[in-house]
Chain A
Amino acid sequence: MRKATQLAGAVCLLVASVSGMAASVLAAPPPERYLHVKVEDAKEGESVNVNLPLSIAEKILPTVNKGELRDGHVTINKSDLDGIDVKGLLDAIRTAPDNEFVTVKQKDEDVRIAKSNGNLIVHVRSTGQEKQNVDITIPLKVVDALFSTAKDNELNIGAALHELSDAGDALLVTVQDASQHVRVWVDSKSSSD
């Protein structure tokens, strides 16, 4: 009888410790996500790294009220939209299979816009006097969040930042010209190395 009581006590302790561990794992806050910007100039031998925790960006954004930016929303001038139904366009892209949607070839510039693996991809290749390659990869969820406001001419930067912090590691922008290389990406590392 005494042994049974001891065994029951041990089992209870084990269950309590396992459930406690599980609770602590479940309650652990998600790892901090960082927006990294790295600019390297091989010609000048310069490099600039800026690392911003997305949680700080999310807190700061609603406090900035200047120009077109109000409460984390940016208002676009309706004339700039030129009558384009951005939300309808995005909906069409979202439901379409992976594909290249726009290809513009000019004398000294190629522009390609495509959808691939849930990302909206923009490639620009300039081959003129100033050679420059620009690659932009934005998760469609972030683009959706950006246009998630009730108004057609408003960008919800706060929601986009929030969605970006929930998305996985992502290389967002790279710009390469003759001497400079710019990279913008998101990950969980606290430095750019």
Chain B
Amino acid sequence: MVLLGKIALGITGTMLAGVGAICSQGMIEVNVVERQPEVHHVYVIAPAMLVPIVTHFIPRHDLGDASQQLRPYMPTIRAALDQLQETEDFVMVDVKDRKQHVEVQKIGGSLVIDVKDENETVHVETPVRMISSTLEQLADKESATAD
């Protein structure tokens, strides 16, 4: 009985540690509400850590072009994302017209994109660290193919 308890405790501890590790880079949140012609609501929340992991398993030949195009811009992207994590929250871009409102903000450790118009509302929230590690993965893939 004591042994079973220890095993259960071990499994629970491992699961909690796993969940903690997976959620350590924050969560990606996507919320889409479509009002016309029919009402649709899509809400996805997923651990951000999964994205660079999934990127790692994408076949190199499928990413060849994307990686090649990305690579020259990596020093700039790296500098921007590193500094973005250091800065306080701010509104990067705000575009309004009579029908649409687009806002890109840095909130906490995340990049938040909100699009609102008559027919739909889109909210995407992605941790900056996840964007950084995913792009690094993509760039590394390019260097692996180049070698």
Which residues on A are within 8 Å of B, measured CB to CB? 32, 34, 44-53, 55-56, 59-60, 62-64, 190-192
Contact = CB atoms under 8 A, between A and B. Distances in A.
B59 interface: no
Given A44-B97, A45-B97, A47-B96, A60 B90 contact: no
A53 B87 contact: yes
A60 B79 contact: yes
Contacts of B88: 32, 190
A52 B92 contact: yes
In order of increasing CB-CB distance, the 6 nearest A-B pairs are A190-B90, A49-B94, A63-B75, A63-B76, A191-B91, A59-B83
B98 interface: yes
B80 A53 contact: no
B105 to A, nearest CB: 9
B79 A63 contact: yes
A50 B96 contact: no
B91 A190 contact: yes
B89 interface: yes
Interface residues of B, number: 21
Contacts of A51: 90-94
B82 interface: yes
A89 to B, nearest CB: 34
Which has the most chain B C-beta neighbours within 10 Å: A46, A53, A56?
A: A56
Nearest to B102: A48
Interface of B: 75-76, 78-80, 82-84, 86-98
A59 to B, nearest CB: 4
Contact of A55 (B83, B95, B97, B98): B83
Contacts of B78: 63
Given A51-B91, A190-B89, A56 B84 contact: yes
Contact of A53 (B79, B90, B93): B90
Contacts of B75: 63
A63 B92 CA distance: 20
8 contacts: A32-B87, A47-B95, A55-B83, A56-B80, A56-B83, A59-B83, A63-B78, A192-B91
A49 B91 CA distance: 9
Contacts of A190: 88-91
A48 B87 contact: no
Contact of B87 (A45, A47, A56, A63): A56
B121 to A, nearest CB: 20
A48 B94 CA distance: 6
Contact of A59 (B82, B90, B91, B98): B82
B92 to A, nearest CB: 6
Nearest to A41: B97
Contacts of B87: 32, 53, 55-56
A64 B76 contact: yes
Nearest to B101: A47
